[in-house]
Protein backbone atom coordinates (compact mmCIF):
# COMPACT_ATOMS: atom_id res chain seq x y z
CA UNK A 1 0.00 0.00 0.00
CA UNK A 2 1.30 3.45 -0.90
CA UNK A 3 1.32 5.85 2.05
CA UNK A 4 -0.54 9.12 1.59
CA UNK A 5 1.76 12.05 0.98
CA UNK A 6 2.25 14.24 4.03
CA UNK A 7 0.79 17.71 3.77
CA UNK A 8 3.23 20.58 4.35
CA UNK A 9 2.78 22.22 7.74
CA UNK A 10 4.40 25.00 9.72
CA UNK A 11 5.39 23.74 13.17
CA UNK A 12 4.32 26.35 15.73
CA UNK A 13 4.60 26.15 19.51
CA UNK A 14 0.87 25.38 19.59
CA UNK A 15 1.08 22.60 17.00
CA UNK A 16 1.38 22.10 13.26
CA UNK A 17 -0.72 24.46 11.15
CA UNK A 18 -1.51 24.99 7.50
CA UNK A 19 0.92 27.38 5.80
CA UNK A 20 -2.06 29.36 4.53
CA UNK A 21 -3.05 30.21 8.11
CA UNK A 22 0.07 32.23 9.00
CA UNK A 23 -1.29 35.61 7.94
CA UNK A 24 1.20 38.48 7.87
CA UNK A 25 4.52 37.04 9.06
CA UNK A 26 7.50 38.59 10.82
CA UNK A 27 10.02 36.10 9.44
CA UNK A 28 12.90 36.83 11.86
CA UNK A 29 12.47 38.20 15.34
CA UNK A 30 12.99 37.60 19.06
CA UNK A 31 10.59 37.67 21.97
CA UNK A 32 13.26 36.44 24.39
CA UNK A 33 17.04 36.59 24.09
CA UNK A 34 20.07 36.71 26.36
CA UNK A 35 23.76 36.71 25.51
CA UNK A 36 27.03 37.57 27.24
CA UNK A 37 27.63 39.90 24.30
CA UNK A 38 24.56 41.98 25.21
CA UNK A 39 24.92 42.52 28.97
CA UNK A 40 22.05 44.46 30.51
CA UNK A 41 20.03 44.36 27.27
CA UNK A 42 18.32 41.01 27.74
CA UNK A 43 14.88 40.29 26.34
CA UNK A 44 13.55 38.45 29.39
CA UNK A 45 10.35 40.26 30.42
CA UNK A 46 7.30 38.09 29.77
CA UNK A 47 4.92 41.03 30.21
CA UNK A 48 6.80 43.10 27.65
CA UNK A 49 6.81 40.16 25.23
CA UNK A 50 3.04 39.83 25.61
CA UNK A 51 2.55 43.55 25.02
CA UNK A 52 4.76 43.43 21.93
CA UNK A 53 2.74 40.55 20.50
CA UNK A 54 -0.50 42.44 21.14
CA UNK A 55 0.90 45.49 19.37
CA UNK A 56 1.97 43.33 16.43
CA UNK A 57 -1.47 41.76 16.29
CA UNK A 58 -3.16 45.18 16.39
CA UNK A 59 -1.00 46.22 13.42
CA UNK A 60 -2.34 43.21 11.47
CA UNK A 61 0.38 40.66 12.27
CA UNK A 62 -0.35 36.95 12.31
CA UNK A 63 2.88 35.02 12.93
CA UNK A 64 6.32 35.59 14.48
CA UNK A 65 9.29 33.35 13.72
CA UNK A 66 11.53 33.50 16.80
CA UNK A 67 15.12 32.72 15.83
CA UNK A 68 16.44 32.47 19.42
CA UNK A 69 18.26 29.09 19.59
CA UNK A 70 19.32 26.74 22.36
CA UNK A 71 20.91 28.25 25.46
CA UNK A 72 19.95 31.86 24.82
CA UNK A 73 16.86 32.22 27.00
CA UNK A 74 14.05 31.21 24.65
CA UNK A 75 11.51 30.90 27.49
CA UNK A 76 10.01 27.92 25.68
CA UNK A 77 7.58 27.24 28.50
CA UNK A 78 6.02 30.69 28.03
CA UNK A 79 5.59 30.66 24.27
CA UNK A 80 2.41 28.62 23.91
CA UNK A 81 0.52 30.76 26.42
CA UNK A 82 1.79 33.95 24.79
CA UNK A 83 0.62 32.70 21.40
CA UNK A 84 -2.81 31.75 22.70
CA UNK A 85 -3.30 35.00 24.64
CA UNK A 86 -2.23 37.24 21.76
CA UNK A 87 -3.70 35.36 18.81
CA UNK A 88 -0.27 35.47 17.11
CA UNK A 89 1.25 32.19 15.98
CA UNK A 90 4.84 31.63 17.17
CA UNK A 91 7.47 29.40 15.58
CA UNK A 92 10.37 28.56 17.92
CA UNK A 93 13.94 27.64 16.96
CA UNK A 94 16.41 25.04 18.00
CA UNK A 95 20.04 25.31 16.90
CA UNK A 96 23.18 27.02 18.17
CA UNK A 97 24.55 30.55 17.67
CA UNK A 98 28.21 31.61 17.48
CA UNK A 99 30.37 30.35 20.34
CA UNK A 100 30.82 33.91 21.66
CA UNK A 101 27.17 33.96 22.73
CA UNK A 102 27.62 31.14 25.26
CA UNK A 103 29.41 30.43 28.50
CA UNK A 104 31.99 27.63 28.07
CA UNK A 105 29.95 25.24 30.23
CA UNK A 106 26.95 25.55 27.90
CA UNK A 107 29.06 24.62 24.88
CA UNK A 108 30.59 21.73 26.81
CA UNK A 109 27.13 20.51 27.81
CA UNK A 110 26.09 20.00 24.17
CA UNK A 111 29.45 18.78 22.93
CA UNK A 112 30.18 22.00 21.07
CA UNK A 113 33.23 23.12 23.03
CA UNK A 114 35.45 20.77 21.06
CA UNK A 115 33.72 21.79 17.86
CA UNK A 116 34.49 25.43 18.60
CA UNK A 117 38.22 24.73 18.70
CA UNK A 118 38.27 22.26 15.84
CA UNK A 119 38.96 19.24 18.04
CA UNK A 120 36.54 16.69 19.45
CA UNK A 121 32.79 16.91 19.32
CA UNK A 122 30.49 14.83 17.17
CA UNK A 123 27.97 16.71 15.06
CA UNK A 124 25.58 13.76 15.28
CA UNK A 125 25.42 14.26 19.07
CA UNK A 126 24.47 17.91 18.62
CA UNK A 127 22.09 16.92 15.85
CA UNK A 128 20.32 14.64 18.33
CA UNK A 129 19.54 17.69 20.46
CA UNK A 130 18.18 19.55 17.43
CA UNK A 131 16.06 16.58 16.33
CA UNK A 132 14.64 16.10 19.82
CA UNK A 133 13.60 19.74 20.03
CA UNK A 134 12.02 19.57 16.58
CA UNK A 135 10.13 16.33 17.14
CA UNK A 136 9.62 15.69 20.86
CA UNK A 137 9.82 19.17 22.32
CA UNK A 138 12.20 21.75 23.72
CA UNK A 139 13.69 20.39 26.92
CA UNK A 140 13.12 16.75 25.97
CA UNK A 141 16.66 15.84 24.88
CA UNK A 142 17.92 13.01 27.11
CA UNK A 143 21.52 14.15 26.78
CA UNK A 144 20.76 17.60 28.18
CA UNK A 145 21.17 18.75 31.75
CA UNK A 146 19.04 21.78 30.89
CA UNK A 147 20.19 25.31 30.19
CA UNK A 148 18.24 27.25 32.76
CA UNK A 149 14.63 27.83 33.67
CA UNK A 150 14.17 30.45 30.95
CA UNK A 151 15.03 28.08 28.13
CA UNK A 152 13.23 24.86 29.01
CA UNK A 153 9.57 24.00 29.19
CA UNK A 154 7.71 23.25 32.41
CA UNK A 155 6.88 19.56 32.14
CA UNK A 156 6.45 17.17 29.24
CA UNK A 157 2.92 18.33 28.37
CA UNK A 158 4.09 21.95 28.13
CA UNK A 159 6.97 21.28 25.76
CA UNK A 160 6.51 23.08 22.44
CA UNK A 161 8.32 21.77 19.40
CA UNK A 162 10.73 23.89 17.41
CA UNK A 163 9.98 24.56 13.75
CA UNK A 164 13.34 25.95 12.65
CA UNK A 165 17.07 25.23 13.10
CA UNK A 166 19.14 28.39 13.72
CA UNK A 167 22.91 28.44 13.12
CA UNK A 168 25.42 31.20 12.42
CA UNK A 169 28.35 32.03 10.18
CA UNK A 170 31.24 34.38 10.83
CA UNK A 171 32.48 37.57 9.24
CA UNK A 172 33.25 36.63 5.61
CA UNK A 173 33.93 33.03 6.61
CA UNK A 174 33.22 29.99 8.77
CA UNK A 175 35.20 29.00 11.83
CA UNK A 176 35.36 25.47 13.28
CA UNK A 177 32.35 26.11 15.54
CA UNK A 178 30.22 27.26 12.60
CA UNK A 179 31.18 24.20 10.55
CA UNK A 180 30.43 21.91 13.49
CA UNK A 181 27.00 23.41 14.17
CA UNK A 182 26.09 23.52 10.47
CA UNK A 183 27.01 19.85 10.09
CA UNK A 184 24.66 19.10 13.00
CA UNK A 185 21.96 21.28 11.47
CA UNK A 186 22.27 19.41 8.18
CA UNK A 187 21.97 16.06 10.03
CA UNK A 188 18.84 17.33 11.76
CA UNK A 189 17.41 18.65 8.52
CA UNK A 190 17.89 15.31 6.77
CA UNK A 191 16.21 13.56 9.71
CA UNK A 192 13.19 15.88 9.91
CA UNK A 193 12.97 18.16 6.86
CA UNK A 194 13.23 21.29 9.05
CA UNK A 195 14.38 24.56 7.46
CA UNK A 196 17.71 26.06 8.51
CA UNK A 197 17.96 29.76 9.31
CA UNK A 198 21.47 31.22 9.14
CA UNK A 199 22.75 34.32 10.92
CA UNK A 200 25.17 35.98 8.47
CA UNK A 201 27.60 38.11 10.45
CA UNK A 202 27.12 41.67 9.18
CA UNK A 203 25.39 40.11 6.18
CA UNK A 204 28.56 38.42 4.88
CA UNK A 205 29.67 34.90 4.06
CA UNK A 206 26.60 33.65 2.19
CA UNK A 207 28.66 31.83 -0.43
CA UNK A 208 30.66 29.94 2.20
CA UNK A 209 27.44 28.97 3.99
CA UNK A 210 25.78 27.72 0.83
CA UNK A 211 28.91 25.87 -0.29
CA UNK A 212 28.92 23.97 3.00
CA UNK A 213 25.22 23.43 3.65
CA UNK A 214 23.98 22.93 0.11
CA UNK A 215 27.16 21.62 -1.49
CA UNK A 216 29.03 19.36 0.88
CA UNK A 217 26.09 18.62 3.22
CA UNK A 218 23.38 18.32 0.53
CA UNK A 219 20.72 20.51 2.14
CA UNK A 220 18.34 21.72 -0.61
CA UNK A 221 18.82 25.49 -1.04
CA UNK A 222 15.07 26.10 -0.70
CA UNK A 223 15.39 24.82 2.89
CA UNK A 224 17.95 27.52 3.79
CA UNK A 225 17.01 31.02 4.98
CA UNK A 226 19.89 33.50 4.96
CA UNK A 227 19.51 36.31 7.51
CA UNK A 228 20.75 39.91 7.79
CA UNK A 229 21.53 40.44 4.13
CA UNK A 230 20.65 44.14 4.30
CA UNK A 231 23.65 44.66 6.59
CA UNK A 232 25.92 44.19 3.56
CA UNK A 233 23.99 45.71 0.63
CA UNK A 234 26.06 44.00 -2.06
CA UNK A 235 23.75 43.38 -5.05
CA UNK A 236 26.09 40.82 -6.61
CA UNK A 237 26.21 38.73 -3.43
CA UNK A 238 22.44 39.04 -3.04
CA UNK A 239 21.76 37.85 -6.59
CA UNK A 240 24.21 34.97 -6.21
CA UNK A 241 22.47 33.74 -3.05
CA UNK A 242 19.04 34.09 -4.63
CA UNK A 243 20.18 32.32 -7.80
CA UNK A 244 21.35 29.40 -5.66
CA UNK A 245 17.74 28.98 -4.51
CA UNK A 246 17.97 30.10 -0.88
CA UNK A 247 15.50 32.44 0.82
CA UNK A 248 16.88 35.88 1.60
CA UNK A 249 15.74 37.41 4.90
CA UNK A 250 16.13 41.15 5.31
CA UNK A 251 15.56 42.71 8.72
CA UNK A 252 15.61 45.82 10.84
CA UNK A 253 15.66 48.67 11.41
CA UNK A 254 18.20 48.93 14.22
CA UNK A 255 20.59 51.53 15.61
CA UNK A 256 23.55 49.24 14.97
CA UNK A 257 22.76 48.95 11.26
CA UNK A 258 21.20 52.33 10.57
CA UNK A 259 23.90 53.05 7.98
CA UNK A 260 22.51 50.38 5.65
CA UNK A 261 18.82 50.22 6.68
CA UNK A 262 17.85 53.00 4.29
CA UNK A 263 19.07 50.94 1.32
CA UNK A 264 16.51 48.17 1.92
CA UNK A 265 13.91 49.26 -0.69
CA UNK A 266 16.55 49.50 -3.42
CA UNK A 267 18.07 46.13 -2.48
CA UNK A 268 14.70 44.41 -2.66
CA UNK A 269 13.75 46.17 -5.90
CA UNK A 270 17.03 45.10 -7.51
CA UNK A 271 16.39 41.48 -6.61
CA UNK A 272 12.78 41.65 -7.80
CA UNK A 273 13.84 43.19 -11.11
CA UNK A 274 16.36 40.35 -11.55
CA UNK A 275 13.57 37.79 -11.16
CA UNK A 276 14.17 36.84 -7.51
CA UNK A 277 11.19 38.51 -5.87
CA UNK A 278 9.88 35.11 -4.78
CA UNK A 279 12.94 34.51 -2.52
CA UNK A 280 12.40 37.53 -0.24
CA UNK A 281 11.44 37.58 3.46
CA UNK A 282 11.24 40.37 6.05
CA UNK A 283 11.68 40.41 9.82
CA UNK A 284 12.18 42.87 12.64
CA UNK A 285 15.09 41.15 14.47
CA UNK A 286 14.40 42.84 17.82
CA UNK A 287 17.44 41.92 19.95
CA UNK A 288 17.34 44.38 22.87
CA UNK A 289 14.65 45.50 25.31
CA UNK A 290 14.98 49.12 24.21
CA UNK A 291 14.19 48.16 20.61
CA UNK A 292 10.70 46.92 21.46
CA UNK A 293 7.83 49.13 20.40
CA UNK A 294 6.42 49.01 23.93
CA UNK A 295 9.72 50.53 25.13
CA UNK A 296 9.69 53.33 22.56
CA UNK A 297 11.61 51.52 19.80
CA UNK A 298 10.37 50.39 16.38
CA UNK A 299 9.75 46.78 17.42
CA UNK A 300 7.60 44.28 15.57
CA UNK A 301 4.74 46.63 14.56
CA UNK A 302 7.16 48.83 12.59
CA UNK A 303 7.31 46.20 9.86
CA UNK A 304 3.63 46.65 9.08
CA UNK A 305 2.96 50.24 10.18
CA UNK A 306 5.95 51.99 8.57
CA UNK A 307 8.09 49.67 6.50
CA UNK A 308 5.28 48.02 4.54
CA UNK A 309 3.91 51.29 3.05
CA UNK A 310 7.42 52.35 2.03
CA UNK A 311 8.06 49.05 0.31
CA UNK A 312 4.72 49.14 -1.47
CA UNK A 313 5.84 52.37 -3.14
CA UNK A 314 9.08 50.74 -4.27
CA UNK A 315 7.90 47.22 -5.10
CA UNK A 316 4.13 47.32 -5.53
CA UNK A 317 1.47 46.09 -3.15
CA UNK A 318 1.23 42.56 -4.56
CA UNK A 319 4.90 41.66 -4.10
CA UNK A 320 4.97 43.17 -0.60
CA UNK A 321 1.88 41.18 0.35
CA UNK A 322 3.59 38.01 -0.87
CA UNK A 323 6.78 38.84 1.06
CA UNK A 324 4.73 38.91 4.26
CA UNK A 325 2.47 35.92 3.48
CA UNK A 326 3.16 33.53 0.59
CA UNK A 327 6.95 33.51 0.86
CA UNK A 328 7.22 32.68 4.60
CA UNK A 329 4.44 30.13 4.19
CA UNK A 330 6.67 28.31 1.68
CA UNK A 331 9.96 28.90 3.48
CA UNK A 332 8.83 27.46 6.83
CA UNK A 333 6.41 24.75 5.66
CA UNK A 334 7.69 21.19 5.92
CA UNK A 335 6.46 17.69 5.13
CA UNK A 336 7.67 16.68 8.58
CA UNK A 337 9.55 13.43 8.98
CA UNK A 338 8.94 11.28 12.07
CA UNK A 339 12.62 11.00 12.86
CA UNK A 340 13.90 8.08 14.88
CA UNK A 341 17.44 9.46 15.09
CA UNK A 342 19.68 12.19 13.79
CA UNK A 343 21.46 9.89 11.37
CA UNK A 344 18.38 8.36 9.77
CA UNK A 345 18.63 10.38 6.55
CA UNK A 346 22.20 11.59 6.25
CA UNK A 347 23.35 13.87 3.47
CA UNK A 348 23.97 11.87 0.37
CA UNK A 349 22.02 8.91 1.75
Give the pLDDT score at 149. 38
What mean pLDDT is predicted for residues 143-166?
Answer: 64
What mean pLDDT is predicted for residues 316-321?
Answer: 98
Confidence grade of residue 156 (pLDDT, cut at 50, 70, 90): very low
Checking if the pLDDT of 5 tops 80, the result is no
What mean pLDDT is predicted for residues 178-192?
Answer: 96
Mean pLDDT over the full length of the chain: 89
Confidence grade of residue 139 (pLDDT, cut at 50, 70, 90): confident
Separation between Cα atoms, residue 146 and residue 19, nearest integer Å: 31
Percentage of residues in the chain having pLDDT higher than 70: 87
Burial class of 83 by CB neighbour count within 10 A (0 to 12, 13 to 18, 19+): buried
- Which tens digit of pLDDT belongs to each residue from 291-310? 999 999 999 999 999 999 99
Do residues 63 and 22 lie in contact, with contact meaning Cβ atoms separated by under 8 Å?
Answer: yes
- Which tens digit of pLDDT belongs to each residue from 236-285? 999 999 999 999 999 988 777 888 889 999 999 999 999 999 999 999 99
Contacts of 163 (CB under 8 A, 6+ apart): 10, 11, 12, 65, 91, 92, 93, 134, 194, 195, 332, 334
- Which tens digit of pLDDT belongs to each residue from 193-221? 999 999 999 999 999 999 999 999 999 99
What pTM was computed for the model? 0.91
Amino acid sequence: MVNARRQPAVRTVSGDVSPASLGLCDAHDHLFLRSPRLPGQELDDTGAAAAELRAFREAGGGTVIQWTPYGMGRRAGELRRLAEDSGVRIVAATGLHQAAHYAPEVLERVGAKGGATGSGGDSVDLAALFVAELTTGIGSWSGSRGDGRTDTADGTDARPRAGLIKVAGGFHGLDAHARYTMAAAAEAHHATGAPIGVHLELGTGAEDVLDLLCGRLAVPPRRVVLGHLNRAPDPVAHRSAAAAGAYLAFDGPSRAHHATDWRLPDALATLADAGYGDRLLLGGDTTTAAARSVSGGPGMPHLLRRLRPRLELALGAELVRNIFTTHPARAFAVEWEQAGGAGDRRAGG
